[in-house]
Protein backbone atom coordinates (compact mmCIF):
# COMPACT_ATOMS: atom_id res chain seq x y z
CA UNK A 1 0.00 0.00 0.00
CA UNK A 2 1.56 3.26 -1.12
CA UNK A 3 0.74 6.79 -0.13
CA UNK A 4 -0.64 7.21 -3.66
CA UNK A 5 -3.16 4.43 -3.01
CA UNK A 6 -4.08 5.96 0.33
CA UNK A 7 -4.56 9.36 -1.31
CA UNK A 8 -6.74 7.79 -4.01
CA UNK A 9 -8.82 6.04 -1.32
CA UNK A 10 -9.38 9.31 0.53
CA UNK A 11 -10.34 11.08 -2.69
CA UNK A 12 -12.88 8.37 -3.45
CA UNK A 13 -14.34 8.63 0.05
CA UNK A 14 -14.59 12.41 -0.27
CA UNK A 15 -16.36 12.07 -3.63
CA UNK A 16 -18.75 9.57 -2.07
CA UNK A 17 -19.67 11.88 0.79
CA UNK A 18 -20.08 14.91 -1.47
CA UNK A 19 -22.27 12.92 -3.91
CA UNK A 20 -24.69 12.22 -1.07
CA UNK A 21 -25.07 15.85 -0.03
CA UNK A 22 -27.16 17.10 -2.98
CA UNK A 23 -29.85 14.42 -2.92
CA UNK A 24 -30.01 14.47 0.88
CA UNK A 25 -30.43 18.25 1.02
CA UNK A 26 -33.12 18.11 -1.68
CA UNK A 27 -35.03 15.38 0.15
CA UNK A 28 -34.91 17.33 3.42
CA UNK A 29 -35.95 20.53 1.65
CA UNK A 30 -38.88 18.77 0.00
CA UNK A 31 -40.10 17.44 3.35
CA UNK A 32 -39.86 20.97 4.75
CA UNK A 33 -41.69 22.46 1.75
CA UNK A 34 -44.47 19.90 2.15
CA UNK A 35 -45.09 21.41 5.57
CA UNK A 36 -45.60 24.79 3.90
CA UNK A 37 -48.04 23.63 1.23
CA UNK A 38 -45.97 22.19 -1.62
CA UNK A 39 -48.58 19.45 -2.11
CA UNK A 40 -51.26 22.11 -2.71
CA UNK A 41 -49.36 23.97 -5.45
CA UNK A 42 -50.13 23.74 -9.16
CA UNK A 43 -49.47 20.38 -10.80
CA UNK A 44 -46.55 21.62 -12.97
CA UNK A 45 -44.68 22.77 -9.85
CA UNK A 46 -45.18 19.40 -8.17
CA UNK A 47 -44.04 17.60 -11.33
CA UNK A 48 -40.95 19.82 -11.47
CA UNK A 49 -40.17 19.04 -7.82
CA UNK A 50 -40.55 15.32 -8.51
CA UNK A 51 -38.28 15.58 -11.55
CA UNK A 52 -35.59 17.48 -9.67
CA UNK A 53 -35.60 14.88 -6.91
CA UNK A 54 -35.50 12.02 -9.40
CA UNK A 55 -32.67 13.48 -11.47
CA UNK A 56 -30.63 14.29 -8.38
CA UNK A 57 -31.21 10.83 -6.97
CA UNK A 58 -30.27 9.05 -10.18
CA UNK A 59 -27.10 11.07 -10.68
CA UNK A 60 -26.16 10.69 -7.01
CA UNK A 61 -26.72 6.93 -7.15
CA UNK A 62 -24.63 6.60 -10.32
CA UNK A 63 -21.74 8.51 -8.77
CA UNK A 64 -21.98 6.53 -5.55
CA UNK A 65 -22.08 3.19 -7.37
CA UNK A 66 -19.11 4.14 -9.54
CA UNK A 67 -17.06 5.44 -6.61
CA UNK A 68 -17.84 2.38 -4.50
CA UNK A 69 -16.83 0.09 -7.38
CA UNK A 70 -13.58 2.01 -7.87
CA UNK A 71 -12.88 1.89 -4.13
CA UNK A 72 -13.43 -1.87 -4.06
CA UNK A 73 -11.13 -2.30 -7.05
CA UNK A 74 -8.46 -0.09 -5.49
CA UNK A 75 -8.66 -2.00 -2.24
CA UNK A 76 -8.44 -5.33 -4.03
CA UNK A 77 -5.36 -4.28 -5.99
CA UNK A 78 -3.47 -2.43 -3.26
CA UNK A 79 -4.85 -3.74 0.02
CA UNK A 80 -5.81 -0.24 1.16
CA UNK A 81 -8.66 -0.12 3.71
CA UNK A 82 -9.93 -3.69 3.30
CA UNK A 83 -12.33 -3.38 6.25
CA UNK A 84 -13.98 -0.31 4.74
CA UNK A 85 -14.02 -1.76 1.24
CA UNK A 86 -16.06 -4.72 2.45
CA UNK A 87 -18.90 -2.32 3.30
CA UNK A 88 -19.11 -0.66 -0.11
CA UNK A 89 -22.05 -2.93 -0.98
CA UNK A 90 -24.11 -0.74 1.35
CA UNK A 91 -23.26 2.31 -0.75
CA UNK A 92 -23.97 0.46 -3.99
CA UNK A 93 -27.27 -1.17 -3.07
CA UNK A 94 -28.75 -0.18 0.29
CA UNK A 95 -28.41 3.60 -0.01
CA UNK A 96 -30.16 3.77 -3.43
CA UNK A 97 -32.91 1.49 -2.11
CA UNK A 98 -33.49 3.83 0.82
CA UNK A 99 -33.62 6.80 -1.58
CA UNK A 100 -36.26 5.03 -3.67
CA UNK A 101 -38.37 4.39 -0.57
CA UNK A 102 -38.14 8.01 0.54
CA UNK A 103 -38.81 9.21 -3.01
CA UNK A 104 -41.95 7.08 -3.26
CA UNK A 105 -43.19 8.35 0.11
CA UNK A 106 -42.65 11.94 -1.03
CA UNK A 107 -44.45 11.26 -4.31
CA UNK A 108 -47.42 9.95 -2.36
CA UNK A 109 -47.36 13.11 -0.25
CA UNK A 110 -47.08 15.33 -3.33
CA UNK A 111 -49.68 13.68 -5.55
CA UNK A 112 -52.13 11.80 -3.32
Task: Give residue-wise pLDDT tens across range 43-69.
Answer: 999 999 999 999 999 999 999 999 999
* Positions in the chain whose pLDDT score sits under 50: none
Cα–Cα distance for residue pair 105/50, rounded to 1 Å: 11
Q: pTM of this prediction?
A: 0.86
Residue 67: Cβ within 10 Å count: 22
Looking at residue 1, what is its pLDDT?
Answer: 59
Amino acid sequence: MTSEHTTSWHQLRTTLVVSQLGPTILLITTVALLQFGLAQTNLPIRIAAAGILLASGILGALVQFQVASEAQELSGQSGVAPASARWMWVVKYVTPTIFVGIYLALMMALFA
